[in-house]
Amino acid sequence: MSHATTPVGTERKIVTELPGPKSQAMHERRKATVSHGLTQGFPVYIERAEGSILVDIDDNRLLDLGSGIAVTTVGHAVPAITDAVSRQVADFTHTCFMVTPYEEYIEVCEELAAITPGDHHKTSALFNSGAEAVENAVKIARLATGRDAIVVVDHAYHGRTNLTMALTAKNMPYKDRFGPFAPEVYRVPTSYPFRDGLSGPEAAQRAISAIESSVGAHNVAAILIEPIQGEGGFIVPADGFLPALSAWTKANGALFIADEIQSGFCRTGEWFAVDHEGVIPDIVTTAKGLAGGMPLAGVTGRAEIMNAVHEGGLGGTYGGNPVAAAASLATIKALRVGQMHLRAREIEQLMVPFLREVQASAPIVGDVRGRGAMIVIEFVVPGGKEPNAAATKAIIEYCTKRGVVVISCGTYGNCVRLLPALSISDEQLRDGLGVLAEAIRSI
Ligand SMILES: Cc1ncc(COP(=O)(O)O)c(C=O)c1O
């Protein structure tokens, strides 16, 4: 907790080695009392943040290119959001929507109906986390279709609860020895242009053949897919892959569930990543960017599907908490009024050519891809496509030690993902990219 009054400013400024002495001491306290099962990350402890700058307890100013994994899309401590939260805290913090409801919950559902793809009648239910939203989307899809099978793809990430572990592809660290896992989950190949070289329709046909032969079309309740695969490595499927899968679900009485938890809320240059391909999902799951840092998640879908659930079948004590809902309404307004999807496109225009230029002289850069402010660099062993996790680790360490916060991802641990706030300035972005380029060249 901080009561510091010095301005945060807009520049990265490192005044101790990182992690600094206070952070190192804090880390010792942590080790004694916080489960070692949580990712340790870079042990720099934060006490304040503003815009794209994080201030640690040693008074270092770090540039945040991760946004807490695509959450603070509008930026840290944005007055419109913090004011909305403060007002709501002063009004009331909790009643439980299932016991004595309130307007903020309804307003978030109205916004979700307006901004998710398609102009059909939609209803929503709100939850606390992305995994909880995905679990509920699966519950709803099974009930609405009367079928059991859920189809997911290679490299998928949908969460860490028991059902979502089954839906998630990668064993370490998410699933190892945590089973047994939930049944009736079937995994098929995805579209990964850098690694499979297939066109969208070819990759879709490969997935569909696998579904038809190993699951049976009539058993499929839903295909659940991230339109840009997040933890798996910001894998942008080849054009036509998502529309073909969506068309297949329609033709076979199954549902298409888009998991937009990481890719939603203007991050990719549209409200949602499926918007780039004109796909209209039956159900959309949201979280992360939905509420500017407050825990909130949503399941939004065709009214006839969502409303098929019996009364009391959906819910939870905190889902759609009024403070999180107030944050969400302010966040969505800021995104809309600021037309921040356009800023995401500008960020892509700045980042991608810069990184492609770095790639031209750095054989460890296998691929630069992504959309909007959701860009990744995939590192390989020079001369081929063998994943280079060691280089990735070294690059992340180089950046974080200089106060540029970037996060890894990828099934093979060989990607550096860039998820800046959409309010980041060009100067800040150039500063962060400069350090990243140095890091790549240092390998
Ligand atoms: C696409 C996707 N789905 C689901 C989740 C799980 O969300 P949470 O961590 O809020 O449970 C994540 C989190 O990274 C995600 O990226």
Q: Which residues of 156-170 are buried (b: 16+ CB within 10 A; e: fewer)?
A: bbbbebebbbbbbbb
| Amino acid of residue 65 | L
Cβ neighbours of 127 (radius 10 Å): 26
> Mean pLDDT, to the nearest integer, of 37-58?
96
Residue 69 alpha carbon to ligand 1 centre in Å: 9
Mean pLDDT estimate for the chain = 97
Instruction: Give the start-to-end residue ranges of the domains of the chain.
Output: 21-77+340-441, 81-336
**Predicted local confidence at residue 334, as pLDDT:** 98
Alpha carbons 113 and 105: distance in angstroms, whole number: 13
Atom number of ligand 1 nearest to Cα 159: 6
Cα of first residue to Cα of last residue in the chain, in angstroms, is 38
Q: What is the pLDDT of residues 280-339, one digit of tens each?
A: 999 999 999 999 999 999 999 999 999 999 999 999 999 999 999 999 999 999 999 999
- Which of 190, 261, 376 should be mutated for ligand 1, with most atoms under 8 A from CB? 261
Alpha carbons 84 and 59: distance in angstroms, whole number: 28
Atom number of ligand 1 nearest to Cα 287: 10
CA atoms within 13 A on the CB side of 166: 16
Question: 422 and 68 in contact (C-beta within 8 Å)?
Answer: no
Structure confidence at residue 3 as a pLDDT band (50, 70, 90)? low
Structure confidence at residue 40 as a pLDDT band (50, 70, 90)? confident
**Category of 319 on φ-ψ map: left (φ > 0), alpha (ψ -120 to 50) or beta:** beta
Structure confidence at residue 107 as a pLDDT band (50, 70, 90)? very high
Alpha carbons 21 and 184: distance in angstroms, whole number: 50
Name the DSSP class of 310. P
- Read off φ and ψ for residue 28, nearest 5 degrees: -65, -45
> How do beta strands 283-286 and 255-259 pair?
parallel
- Read off φ and ψ for residue 269, nearest 5 degrees: 100, 0
Atom number of ligand 1 nearest to Cα 288: 10
Residue 16 alpha carbon to ligand 1 centre in Å: 34
Alpha carbons 233 and 46: distance in angstroms, whole number: 27
**Predicted local confidence at residue 190, as pLDDT:** 98
Alpha carbons 398 and 388: distance in angstroms, whole number: 16
Give, to the nearest 10 degrees, the angle between helix 241-251 and helix 200-214: 40
- Which of 138, 152, 157 should be mutated for ligand 1, with most atoms under 8 A from CB? 157
Instruction: Tell me the CATH class for 81-336.
Output: alpha beta
The DSSP result for 229-261, as a single string, is BTTTT-BPPPTTHHHHHHHHHHHTT-EEEEE-T
**Those residues with Cβ within 8 angstroms of residue 423's Cβ, 6 or more apart along the chain or in another chain:** 51, 52, 74, 75, 78, 338, 340, 343
**Predicted local confidence at residue 2, as pLDDT:** 59
| DSSP-based three-state secondary structure for 59 | coil
Residue 7 alpha carbon to ligand 1 centre in Å: 33
Q: Which CATH number fits domain 21-77+340-441: 3.90.1150.10, 3.40.50.10860, 3.40.50.10170, 3.40.1670.10?
A: 3.90.1150.10
**Those residues with Cβ within 8 angstroms of residue 346's Cβ, 6 or more apart along the chain or in another chain:** none
Give the residue whose CA is nearest to atom 16 of ligand 1: 262
pTM, whole model, 2 decimals?
0.98
Least confident segment among 41-45, 93-97, 167-171, 429-433: 41-45
